[in-house]
Structure 1
Amino acid sequence: MERVRDVSRLPKAHLHLHFTGSMRPGTLLELAEKYGVHLPDALTSGEPPKLRATDERGWFRFQRLYDIARSCLRAPEDIQRLVREAAEEDVRDGSGWLEIQVDPTSYAPMLGGLIPALEVILDAVERASRDTGLGMRVLVAANRMKHPLEARTLARLAVRYRDRGIVGFGLSNDERRGMARDFDRAFAIARDGGLLAAPHGGELTGPSSVRDCLDDLHASRVGHGVRAAEDPRLLRQLAERGVTCEVCPSSNVALGVYETPGDVPLRTLYEAGVPMALGADDPLLFGSRLAAQYTLARRHHGFTDGELAELARQSIRGSAAPEDVRKKLLVGVDEWLASEPTEPAGS
């Protein structure tokens, strides 16, 4: 029987994981009981909720479930638990570096304000990194549904706390709302302050939103970016500039961007030379974590162990990890590939 290597032992970097969406389902249930929050059946059934966000009603339902889950994070100890458990899950999946994405304004009302909320989050990340051995940093994301002036405030705050573990600045929520160029000043503030630019684009809308991220926000990474596969010229541009796409296959299928895992254009991006970093996005809602994305690439797209190793390298190179951490992880990838396959090929 043909055997393959265990993808959970493949060193990798995780560059697309949202804060509340990283929560364990069991933790959500416990916190909801603690605070008397009624959870809809979609969050208590033990199965990922049925989602389809390609229309406004579907996106509203997805956002509503996310907001309900976030409302269960009310105290510093809840934040610490979430971050520690997210780190533990990543270590279990072979991650050596995690950049967790958060909009601190969402947690400010329950944690005493914007700055206290950010400091609670950064303290939790520092502690979880120390306790688990996982390299862990923060990417602050603005909400494109809010006014661009709020994004500028967040960008200045992110730069101010750069020495506390913030490495990048993003732009999330429904990419069909708000123009990327409306947030160009916020991204300029972030870039001038030494943060990498990693806005969302190219998931719910087409290649033009990826191009806007490049042209208007000067992105060095793009959250998702899969719709670039529809534009060969854009693919060449991404490859030539070395812009990493944070591709989240399970998320793409769960939200209805693609019908099946085999429809996600991993091969198209890979063969065009576009760097990719596979990510789990929101495991709480999509039902799978980081290693499962590599398994998906193997099962549905025929990625060999050598190609999976290259995907892991691309994730590491696209990260904000210090050079010594990158080197260590890259050596680990080579060692993984040199090891004997132990798993049945169908695993």
Structure 2
Amino acid sequence: MSEMSEELAAILDLPKVELHTHYEGAAPPAFIRGLAQEKKVDLSKVFNSDGSYAFEGFVPFLRVYEAATTVLQTPEDFKRLGLAILEEAASNGVIYMESFVSPDFCGGGDVSAWREYLAAMVEAADEAERDFGIVSRGIVTCIRHEGPEQAKTAALCAAETVGDFITGFGMGGDENIGAQRDFKYSFDMAREAGLRLTTHAGEWRGPQEVREAIQDLGVERVGHGVRAAEDPALVDELAEKGIVLEICPGSNVALGAYPDWKSHPIDMLRRAGVKVTVSTDDPPFFHTTMRDEYLNLANTFGWDAAVFTDIAKASANAAFCDEATRQNILNKLET
């Protein structure tokens, strides 16, 4: 093995911290196909002939995503899903992972039903920590294209179940619909309940969307946020305020936000002093893993192990977890 390949292998084996994954979006295609067969649901249009998820572009991706989730119908389904995604993440060296979970997919926003689904996800998290050594937390998310009123039900579910596992609140969905400020009520409710805040912004809309997320919703982290790179003043503001960007390069390239890895602004943002993190978003949809993300970043930007370790530490410090858990993660990153 050459010196370079040994160095690259060491990078790929580093312990990793992931802050931006979608619970349902991390479902392996084979898992979803298996559930569809069990429940006799026709999802043939969801998959390509090779078994991968079939879509081109962001809005078709959202449609396929939501179609795939229709087979996730019971708390037990979500427990099985949780074990599958946590085992896969752990196999890629992830020692801590946060996932976005939506009550819209877990009981339709009813708090009582949500509690049952949540209990199943907590069981999966506990078993995965015991069996795979991975620690996980959940961030309740409202869905932007479902509108502000529906978002209030997600915020209520989050506020009613804040605790050891549910530690944050955020928003996903179609960024091109509505405005961040439309969801201020829900974010205020979550903040008052003690939840940490993040929101998807600046994946498709420009820098102003990131600025509005910070100003109107008061988030401390921004999902994606990469379009901020187009506004030098905003880049300086992000660096000065310590706003953390949950960046998912493989997702951005797969969906066409950037034509290739060399065009991606993550390295520029990092060099400008912005706190960047690395995640997979919806890994099987975008044919990626955390090892793949590390491999592409190392090959594209020449990042070495020290850079990746610094990013993992920054991710741990930005994690929505208690201080004891954070220190435990940081200790593992030092070994």
Structure 2 equivalent of residue 339 of structure 1: none
Mark the CA change 1:37 to 1:284 in structure 2 (over 3 Å): closer, same or farther.
farther
Match status 1:65 vs 2:79: no
CA distance in 2, matches of 1:144, 1:128: 30
Structure 1 equivalent of residue 297 of structure 2: 297
Match status 1:97 vs 2:100: no
Mark the CA change 1:290 to 1:38 in structure 2 (over 3 Å): closer, same or farther.
same
Structure 1 residues 1-347: aligned runs within 5 Å? 1-2=2-3, 3-4=6-7, 5-40=9-44, 43-44=47-48, 45-47=50-52, 49-53=54-58, 59=59, 61-108=60-107, 113-335=113-335
Contact 2:139 2:170 in 1 (8 A): yes
Contact 2:25 2:65 in 1 (8 A): yes
CA distance in 1, matches of 2:119, 2:331: 34
Mark the CA change 1:317 to 1:52 in structure 2 (over 3 Å): closer, same or farther.
same
The amino acid of 1:13's aligned partner reads V
Q: Deviation of residue 334 (structure 1)? A: 3.2
CA distance in 2, matches of 1:50, 1:147: 24
- Normalised to the residue count of structure 2, the TM-score between the two structures is 0.91
CA distance in 1, matches of 2:128, 2:45: 31
Contact 1:202 1:225 in 2 (8 A): yes
Contact 2:140 2:158 in 1 (8 A): yes
SS of corresponding position for 2:169? strand
Structure with the larger RCO, 1 or 2 (CA within 8 Å, 6+ apart): 1
SS of corresponding position for 2:184? helix
1:215-260, Cα deviation, whole Å (9 max, x unpaired): 0011110000111111111111111111111100111011110011
Contact 1:261 1:296 in 2 (8 A): yes
Q: Deviation of residue 270 (structure 1)? A: 0.5
CA distance in 2, matches of 1:253, 1:280: 11
Contact 1:277 1:312 in 2 (8 A): yes
Q: Deviation of residue 42 (structure 1)? A: 5.5
CA distance in 1, matches of 2:258, 2:313: 26
Contact 1:244 1:276 in 2 (8 A): yes
- Normalised to the residue count of structure 1, the TM-score between the two structures is 0.88
Q: Deviation of residue 316 (structure 1)? A: 1.1
CA distance in 1, matches of 2:329, 2:116: 33
Q: Deviation of residue 62 (structure 1)? A: 1.0
SS of corresponding position for 2:145? coil
RMSD: 2.1
Q: Which runs of 5+ in 2 are unaligned?
A: none
The amino acid of 2:78's aligned partner reads I
Matched-pair identity in %? 34
Contact 1:97 1:321 in 2 (8 A): no
Runs of 4+ deviating beyond 4 Å:
109-112
CA distance in 1, matches of 2:67, 2:42: 9
Contact 2:107 2:113 in 1 (8 A): yes
The amino acid of 2:69's aligned partner reads R
Q: Which runs of 5+ in 1 are unaligned?
A: 54-58, 336-347
Q: Deviation of residue 313 (structure 1)? A: 1.2
Contact 2:76 2:120 in 1 (8 A): no
SS of corresponding position for 2:276? coil
SS of corresponding position for 1:13? strand
Contact 1:12 1:329 in 2 (8 A): no
CA distance in 2, matches of 1:125, 1:33: 26
Contact 2:103 2:109 in 1 (8 A): no
CA distance in 2, matches of 1:165, 1:332: 20
1:284-332, Cα deviation, whole Å (9 max, x unpaired): 2111122221212101121122111111111111112332333333233
